[in-house]
Structure 1
Amino acid sequence: MLKKLSRLTLLSALSASSLSALADANSSKTLAPIDNPIVLKRADPWLVRDEKSGCYTFIGSSPKFDEIELRQACRLNDLKLAEPKVIWQKRDKGPMSVNIWAPELHQINGSWYIYFAAGDIEKPFSIRMYALKNDSADPMQGEWQEMGQVTSHLDSFSLDATSFTHKGKRYMIWAQQNQPATYNSALWLAEMDSPTSIKEPIIAITEPTLDWEVQGYKVNEGAAVITHGDKIFVTYSASATDHRYAMGLLWADVNADLLDPASWHKKAEPVFTTNAELGRFGPGHNSFVKAEDGVTDLMIYHSRDYKELKGTPLTDPNRHARARIITWDKNGFPVFSSERAD
């Protein structure tokens, strides 16, 4: 009888251990369950949380790449139910007339800015970076003004501008092709001298050189910044935007000179990838935001739930926005738990 009880106890312990290992990445004792996807058919998701109200404003690529819209909700799970508001539409011709990609929303000096990429309908992949501005306290209100092109040191394929502050300075990271066009895009960094312009020096902080970064296309893009402890982290996405799309990680010490290329370190392996068993294909182009408790870190990203595309990576609209809890290891690095569902 004792042997039987011991065996049952052992099996119970093993079962509990197995269940713990397979637990959902979003398992939490303090947060409401996250109802993924949080928004359907919105790639390149970017989420802003108002610190006073706790409410969220969501922005992402519209599936037809022809307009920019915002939506708001005070609960993460209500974003998919929120009524989107179109705040800008593409031009009929010339710059900003096609391929409206990856808009991001930032509040800078009391005004709202949206950075986005767009092409010319006569040359659809002449992608460049642009900005909109709104002086309203609420980005869903007021008028959005075109602020023109956000230029860099090169006149080449460029996209995915993001902005962050560190030690009193504002920086921009963006993706751009080099002058010899030996790759599709690398990530570049510069200090900003206004919300829509940068200044020298300009450095590359990562180029697509690793095997997992050059599948289909040689791409480093979609940067997102999060600071934790004594490090500043940059996630990015690489390769073609099908099931081979994956996320990588850069970091620098918080006291380092961010404009010194030697300050930046790069993880050799991807940190978040396709997992067919979990129905996750081509995850990437993420942002970071606090959960409803104002404390827990969330990663907002897109992925498809199948491998075989319905058309091309651009015409298949089913990249859905998802949220997952990010934890931190004993060395202060983010834990993405790619083997776990959300």
Structure 2
Amino acid sequence: MSVQKRFASALLSCLLLVFAIMVSLPPHAASAAVGTFFNVINQDGADPWVYKHTNGYYYLTKTTGNNVTLWRSRTLTGLDAGDSKVVFTPPATGANSQNIWAPELHWINNAWYIYYAADDGNNNNHRMFVLRNTSADPFSGTWTDLGKIYDPANDYWAIDGTVLNVSGKLYFIWSGWPGTANVTQNLYIAPMDTPNHISGARVQISAPTYAWETVGSPTVNEGPEVLVKNGVISLVYSASGSWTDAYKLGMLTASTTANLLSPTSWTKRSTPVFQSGNGVYGPGHNSFTKSADGTEDWIVYHAARFQGAGWTRNIRAQKFGWNADNTPNFGTPAAPNTPIAIPSGEPLRDRYEAESGVFANGAIAVTTPTASNGAKAGYLDNSTRSVEVTVNVASAGTYVLYARTDNGTTGGAWATHSLSVNGGAASLFYVANSGWDNWGTSTARVYLNAGANKLKFSGNSNFAELDCLDLFPYQP
């Protein structure tokens, strides 16, 4: 064979190899308008309370431990990127100065109320407290500390208080100890004459008795939340130790016409109504809300970030249906690696695959079956390594960046990327630690120009990877 022919043959082989590699890679910076999301709406959080108000905002609060913070957003899936405000910072000392747990925001009689549990640094002294704000907007006005809400004749350990409103009558429901010893957590109900005052003795309506309720010690019934449909009250609660993968939801039912202060009016289901499944562990302590257009019912709950994670949790949401007896049917937790439909009425989102971006200095695309398109952007291990994804939007404005991320840094530490938009100053992009290929959701608000924009992610601290990037308009 002549030198020319050998050269031509070698050149052809190289070209075919390059073509084969190009064909095997995902399309560069391609996007698709989708009506789905991957189900983590908050990558780090517990005890989520979501309330959709008549002003069109969703309000979220959760356990922070040291204050009460509210988030708000026009979309359920955009809450993590929404506005936030600390509305209550506890006093330096006193009965409600420490360990603030499971706040709930309620709109009752034209005023806002927040119910939360707190203590003085000694868990035995946990009690329920209440705040009030008479402003139409919970982000403005003044939050007034109204003190403890309790039954004076049974002033024992109490957490997870919520309010049931039936035909204008108010009831307070919470989880508490039967006495002064931490042997079990029961559910109690008491009448209220005002939103911040219990007007009668507490009544026990549930105690952990079934085997599925009694995993862990002490035994636990907690996190009561209520749904009312066609005269049926469904009281959904969390059972077994919250630090175990056996944490799950149970349910009591009662008629709206029954004497709700009589234990015999409440019927407990003998089996759980929502529990671990599809690779999601320890789902519990939930709240209920509606889709943006009001046509769908959604459960918002926390779950362990990984098997055996205990109190290391994230927040998830999914649509639920109803049984013929007017009780909720939650099904099983949505599989983490399968996208589910966004709440009805939320805007479609453009989805970009991070592995289709332009890599620099050792960052590369890595194949993995858990990723949305079978590959992820990895090895973003230091500030010189990066991936740049080009995105396109029809109009200039602020957008929610909803990114599927993972972090397997040894020791459980958070990781950060530096995120730069169109070559501008970088901001930190936070990724919780749940392990490699165990995906969460990191969010940010970014301003984009009409047309093409470049999102550049560089390594900053510890180690994290990117899967897909969703973009949808931020609605103030």
TM-score tier (shorter): 0.7 to 0.9
Q: Which moved more, 1:91-100 or 1:222-231?
A: 91-100
Instruction: Say yes or no: does 1:272 pair with 2:274.
Output: yes
- What is the aligned partner in structure 2 of residue 254 from structure 1? 256
Aligned mates of 2:252, 2:80 — CA distance in 1: 31
Alignment partner of 2:179: what SS? coil
Alignment partner of 2:36: what SS? coil
1:144 is displaced (CA, Å) by 1.2
Q: 1:71 to 1:339 in 2, by over 3 A?
A: closer
Instruction: Say yes or no: does 1:321 pair with 2:315.
Output: yes
Aligned mates of 1:192, 1:84 — CA distance in 2: 31
Q: Is the 8 A contact 2:104 2:162 kept in 1?
A: yes
- What is the aligned partner in structure 1 of residue 150 from structure 2? 151
Q: Where in structure 2 are there 5+ consecutive unaligned residues?
A: 1-33, 341-476
Q: 1:1-12 residue pairs with structure 2 within 5 A? A: none
Instruction: Say yes or no: does 1:173 pair with 2:168.
Output: no
- What is the aligned partner in structure 2 of residue 136 from structure 1? 135
Which of 36, 39, 47 pairs up with 1:44?
A: 47
- What is the aligned partner in structure 2 of residue 10 from structure 1? none
- AA of the residue aligned to 2:219: K
- What is the aligned partner in structure 2 of residue 60 from structure 1? 62
Residue-by-residue CA offset, 1:313-338 (whole Å, 9 max, x unaligned):
4xx5x311211111012232211112
Q: Is the 8 A contact 1:34 1:323 kept in 2?
A: no
Q: Is the 8 A contact 1:173 1:223 kept in 2?
A: yes
Instruction: Report the identity percentage.
Output: 36
Alignment partner of 1:96: what SS? coil
Q: 1:79 to 1:192 in 2, by over 3 A?
A: same
Q: Is the 8 A contact 1:174 1:223 kept in 2?
A: yes
- AA of the residue aligned to 2:119: G
Q: 1:139 to 1:329 in 2, by over 3 A?
A: same
1:41 is displaced (CA, Å) by 1.5
- What is the aligned partner in structure 2 of residue 162 from structure 1? 162
- What is the aligned partner in structure 1 of residue 246 from structure 2? 244
Aligned mates of 1:183, 1:324 — CA distance in 2: 34
Alignment partner of 2:139: what SS? coil
Q: Is the 8 A contact 2:48 2:60 kept in 1?
A: yes
Q: Is the 8 A contact 1:54 1:294 kept in 2?
A: no
1:174 is displaced (CA, Å) by 0.8
Residue-by-residue CA offset, 1:23-43 (whole Å, 9 max, x unaligned):
xxxxxxxx9535522223221
Residue-by-residue CA offset, 1:208-242 (whole Å, 9 max, x unaligned):
11111121131111011001123110000011112
- What is the aligned partner in structure 1 of residue 112 from structure 2? 112
Q: TM-score, normalised by structure 2?
A: 0.60
- Higher alpha-carbon Rg: 2
Instruction: Say yes or no: does 1:222 pair with 2:216.
Output: no
Q: Is the 8 A contact 1:35 1:77 kept in 2?
A: no
Aligned mates of 2:207, 2:50 — CA distance in 1: 26
Residue-by-residue CA offset, 1:247-301 (whole Å, 9 max, x unaligned):
10110122222122111100011111122xx221111111111111212111111
Q: Is the 8 A contact 2:280 2:333 kept in 1?
A: no
Aligned mates of 1:35, 1:69 — CA distance in 2: 25
- What is the aligned partner in structure 1 of residue 295 from structure 2? 295
Residue-by-residue CA offset, 1:130-157 (whole Å, 9 max, x unaligned):
1111111111111211111111241211
- What is the aligned partner in structure 2 of residue 286 from structure 1? 286
Aligned mates of 1:67, 1:176 — CA distance in 2: 22
Aligned mates of 1:188, 1:143 — CA distance in 2: 30
Q: Which moved more, 1:154-163 or 1:251-260?
A: 251-260
Q: 1:173 to 1:306 in 2, by over 3 A?
A: same
The aligned length equals: 300
Q: 1:18-29 residue pairs with structure 2 within 5 A? A: none
- AA of the residue aligned to 1:76: L
Alignment partner of 1:262: what SS? helix
1:129 is displaced (CA, Å) by 0.6
Q: Is the 8 A contact 2:103 2:117 kept in 1?
A: yes
- AA of the residue aligned to 1:94: G
- AA of the residue aligned to 2:139: M
Q: Is the 8 A contact 1:274 1:283 kept in 2?
A: yes
Alignment partner of 1:271: what SS? coil
- State the superposition RMSD in angstroms: 1.8
Q: 1:273 to 1:139 in 2, by over 3 A?
A: same
- What is the aligned partner in structure 2 of residue 205 from structure 1? 205
Aligned mates of 1:130, 1:202 — CA distance in 2: 16
Aligned mates of 1:156, 1:249 — CA distance in 2: 24
- What is the aligned partner in structure 2 of residue 185 from structure 1? 185
Aligned mates of 2:105, 2:126 — CA distance in 1: 19
Aligned mates of 1:281, 1:287 — CA distance in 2: 18
Q: Where in structure 1 are there 5+ consecutive unaligned residues?
A: 1-30
